[in-house]
Amino acid sequence: MHGGRCCRLKRAISLWKRLLTPISNSSCRPFYHPQPKSALHCGKVSLEALAKRYGTPLYVYSADQMVERLGLFQTALKGRDHLVCYAVKANSALAILELLAGRGAGFDIVSGGELERVKVAAPEAVGRVVFSGVGKTAAEVDLALEADILQFNVESEAELALLAARAAKLKRKSRFALRVNPDVFADTHPYISTGLREHKFGIDIRHARRIYKGAAGNRWLDAYGVSVHIGSQIRSAAPFGAAMARVCKLVEQLRGDGIVLKAIDAGGGLGIDYHGGDFDAAAKVQEYAAAIEQALAGFDGRLLMEPGRFLVAQAGALLARVLQVKRNGKKTFVITDAAMNDLIRPALYQAHHEIVPVRPRPGRPRTVDVVGPVCETGDFFARDRKLAPVEPGDLVALLDAGAYGMAQSSNYNTRMRAAEVLVEGAKARLIRRRETMADLLAPEVP
């Protein structure tokens, strides 16, 4: 335990050194202190000023970093026909979809609702949409066919039959890719590993060739590509390369059968560092791109990819205010006005988020649990964490919360969901207002 606490303390010290270092390009490090003892900023905007104007809990995002991260992929793959399809499920804010679409991104969706979001935020980008997900309904398939999306990522033979039937009924030819499971192990949390035979996603790659052959005679189906997604928060490039190598072998076999696929969808899953250490995003993308390119050396078609977390996670923070600092026996609890309904990742995945005071106080860090007011023992953001001194009324920022934060939030305990603010350079704008009690009660009938 002592060794673990020392490691956590070293990580915290490393983070504070990183945050207190003045920088010239805020998009590389969106949350930082311009100078020691000053308030934490996003870009050139003070988080204290945002909290005063919009209240807490509050999600704050850096548009500059999102654009920068998208550009890393686009630059690394500029020698190949490619399309970066942002995974909408990571953060589906309309303003973020509009921002990324304006920089050439496509979108990976997993529901009809996400397609509707793209249609509202960036109607010109609908032709750059790929539709994934294991449980597409007939209504969702119709919606996507009528929108003329780029590609359906088909997850089962039954789904392919549904797609063929709906395409025939609407007289709209459908581009599809089978999502295959290459049976490549990805070292990640079991809840977000998706590329093995025992997972609910995709089709066993050993059966794919037969399915493609069976679809070849259907006039309403266009075998456009093949898709794979092995999981999320994967820190090594090697599993991506291994998956692509197996997919390329299938593509070559299909070419021999007279079925020429135009696209390979590499999926998403490239991970980030949630622990506050040095993280070279550009180097990670270059490593990832090199592994993919090596595996695709014999393929001259289009490459699709679906990053989500990598684009938006480190661009976001959840801002909360300390309500109380409470001692129970040997334990100290820092109680904030944010809770598990605002950011469920620590409770759901035992996920780590660095937590830092917005304005540092002098004094030594102390070991605390950072918790919320929801009536659940599982309502925590950190347990036995070394945290710099905070007092009631202080602001804290939960970092790297731009992905799967607001997207997974809820109204549990009849709590209103947070507001969201997008920062571009020195400008901040509200992109989602805080919910009201009237919002929560409006759909209900007593």
Residues annotated as catalytic (active site), given as ranges: 375
Q: How many helices (H) and strands (E) does the chain have?
A: 13, 21
Residue 429 contacts residue 441 (beta carbons within 8 Å): no
Question: Closest Cα to residue 345, out of 406, 386, 266, 432?
Answer: 406
Max CA pair span of the chain: 73
Hey, is 142 helix, strand or coil? Answer: helix
**Which amino acid does the sequence have at 169?**
K
DSSP state of 262: -
Residue 406 contacts residue 418 (beta carbons within 8 Å): yes
Type and span of the H or E element at 321:
strand 316-328
d(CA 26, CA 32): 8
| Strand ranges in 337-387 using DSSP code E only, listed in sequence order | 355-357, 366-371, 380-387
Hey, is 238 helix, strand or coil? Answer: helix
Residue 67 contacts residue 104 (beta carbons within 8 Å): no
Integer-rounded Cα radius of gyration of the chain:
23
Tokens of 392: 């009631």
d(CA 242, CA 297): 13
d(CA 441, CA 299): 54
Identify whether 57 is preceded by a cis peptide bond (ω within 30 of 0).
yes
Type and span of the H or E element at 288:
helix 281-295
Residue 254 contacts residue 206 (beta carbons within 8 Å): no
d(CA 253, CA 204): 15
Residue 154 contacts residue 175 (beta carbons within 8 Å): no
Residue 130 contacts residue 107 (beta carbons within 8 Å): yes
d(CA 351, CA 112): 29
Place of tokens 């197996």: 246
Type and span of the H or E element at 418:
none
